[in-house]
Structure 1
Amino acid sequence: MRPLTALLCTIVLATGAWLTLTPTLAGTPTTSCEVTDQLAEHHGYDEWDRTVLGPDRRLPDDYEPPDLVSAAGANLDARFLIRRLVVDDLRRMRQAASAEGVRLEIGSAYRSAHAQASLRQATVRELGPRAAERLVARPGHSEHQLGTALDFSDTSGAHIWLATNASRFGFVRSYGSESRQCTDREDWHYRYLGVDTARAVVASGLAANDYLSRRHGEE
């Protein structure tokens, strides 16, 4: 059997998108959560900073932000798409990191429901359904479909830098050790919520989804 690190590698989909799977951090438990297809309460394109997704909450099947642009606008890989509203702060964050000798690179950004389904199927084939359930969200349940979530490669200490600095630019780690959500810790996965909300999330000590759920009355 091939090593896990060989299996969790870049997968080329029929759509031509390059998607990167990163190994789950050892020692981080996954909670047992009910899997349902309830529509997220806040799922409009203008509610990007309020939407809460998880195994029990999803986006509409046809959700595709109308303002997707290339990440090249933030001086990042042009293959990836992000919402236009993310570009300025993402570019500022990349410049700040670069000034401190840290290179930010992304391995995944916007992902359609179709691309998410392809990624999940590929993971099931390689690792089995149990691993896929833990590592890859079902179509409609991934923050990547929002167009405001990014996976950062761990180049030159990027993950450490992001953990300390990302909120200054409006980004928060979605799944950390403080999370009560149903996803393993992901030091590479950040979501843009805007500077004010990101700082409030960090100050609260809660995971992003927990904070958003309490703030917008979804608990």
Structure 2
Amino acid sequence: MIGKNYLQWYGTVAQLVVTESELIKEILSNKDGAFPKFETQPLVKKLLGDGLVNNEGEMWAKLRRLANHAFHGESLKGMTPAMVTAVEIMLESWKSYEGQEMEVYEEFRLLTSDVISRTAFGNNYQNGKNIFEMLMSKFFKISDEIESDKPEMEIRNNIMKIIKEREEKVISGKENSFGNDFLGILVKAHHDVNDNQRISKDNLVD
């Protein structure tokens, strides 16, 4: 390895590794489409969905704007209490291990699941946590594309159920918004009156 940017081989495929921040920024912005994305393996695509990671062009730009808004500094400040709650719950559970060894890797895996669930699904965080656990436990044990159809559908149905519940609450007047968490931002975009800003339900789920 020589320099900040270097060539490496993955089997018979050459890979250029870039570590210079300005070049990384240019590649990720990809304004002129000079850096096309690789075709994702079908099984991986089922795991990642057809969202920001796999999209290009106009749809990518639309989803990127949503992500930028969701993870803007001010938005992240609003997520801090959820993150603090997750950490406090973990630390409280550690008291039962006093004087004993514990599997820290597993604890932080659970913390990651809890934080993602709370920030992405808000009040529906327990359902979100179940979805996250389902994703991690089932997909990573599956090597067959056909076999992956069942958990993919199960995960999709669970997400759709949460979305439908939020939509019904707004329609009935029980809530005046779809929520301030990441899912709420996406549901709001799905109902946007502006065609250029609106995303499909498939994009929402992915």
Normalising by structure 2, we get a TM-score of: 0.31
Q: Which has the higher contact order (CA 8 A, sep 6+)?
A: 1
Normalising by structure 1, we get a TM-score of: 0.30
Q: Between Structure 1 and Structure 2, whose CA radius of gyration is higher? A: 2
| Higher helix content, 1 or 2 | 2
| Higher strand content, 1 or 2 | 1
